[in-house]
Structure formats: structure tokens, C-alpha cells
């Protein structure tokens, strides 16, 4: 269990703990015959992100790779339907998608994401 998994999820969530599962990511990847990974396609609206990601998903699927495509427009019809387009809402949209993608990678899938990511994240090393 990682430190992130042990940490409470919020100030009132002391009873929320991470429950490890008997089937691990490595087991799922072995069953699928490939590792789980996220491929993140970003760009301006209309730049072809969804088209390229969709074509790649079709090609990978034809090769027997377990895939899932998370598309920005589609996600806003469900998971992120409560969000607008303010800076905070755009960040929350991407955060939610990242969490879903992380779960799918844990399931052993190759996850393709096609999103406008207007805010460049700070580099991990602070550079």
C-alpha cells in the first residue's frame, strides 16, 4: 500500500481506508497480455485529438489490445456534466478524467484520452 492510499481522503474521512484487492494490476496485465498505460492526446479544439485517438484505438483493438477511449466531449455528457468551462472547472474536469484513467490502467487497459488541456501543469521537479 502506498502512502497516498493510506492517507485519509479529506478532513472528515478518517474511516475511509484503502482496501487492497486479491487480483492485482500485474495479474490483469498478464491476463490481457500487455501492460496498462495512458496515452494522453492534447491540443486545441478541432485539432484532431479524438480522430487520431479513435484511429489508434481501432488499430490496437484489431491487434487484440484491451483499450478504452476517454473523449472530452463524451465525458462532459456524464462524469463531468456538472462542470462549466471556468479555469477551476477545466482543472477539475482533467483531474476526474485522470482518476478514471488511473482506475482503467489498474484494470490493465490501454487508455487513450483526448482532451483540451489548457493549463500546463508545473513540472514535478519544479523546473
As annotated, the active-site residues are 117
Q: Name the residue among 93, 80, 81 with its Cα closest to residue 119.
A: 93
Amino acid at each position: 500500500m502506498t502512502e497516498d492510499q493510506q492517507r485519509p481522503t479529506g478532513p472528515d474521512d478518517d474511516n475511509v481506508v484503502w482496501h487492497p484487492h486479491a487480483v492485482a494490476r500485474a495479474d490483469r496485465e498478464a491476463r490481457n497480455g500487455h501492460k496498462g498505460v495512458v496515452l494522453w492526446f492534447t491540443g486545441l479544439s478541432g485539432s484532431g485529438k479524438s480522430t487520431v485517438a479513435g484511429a489508434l484505438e481501432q488499430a490496437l483493438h484489431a491487434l487484440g489490445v484491451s483499450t478504452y477511449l476517454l473523449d472530452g466531449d463524451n465525458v462532459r455528457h456524464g462524469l463531468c456534466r456538472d462542470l462549466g468551462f471556468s479555469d477551476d472547472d477545466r482543472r477539475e474536469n482533467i483531474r476526474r478524467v485522470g482518476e478514471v484513467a488511473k482506475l482503467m490502467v489498474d484494470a490493465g487497459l490501454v487508455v487513450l484520452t483526448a482532451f483540451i488541456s489548457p493549463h500546463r501543469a508545473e513540472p514535478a521537479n519544479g523546473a
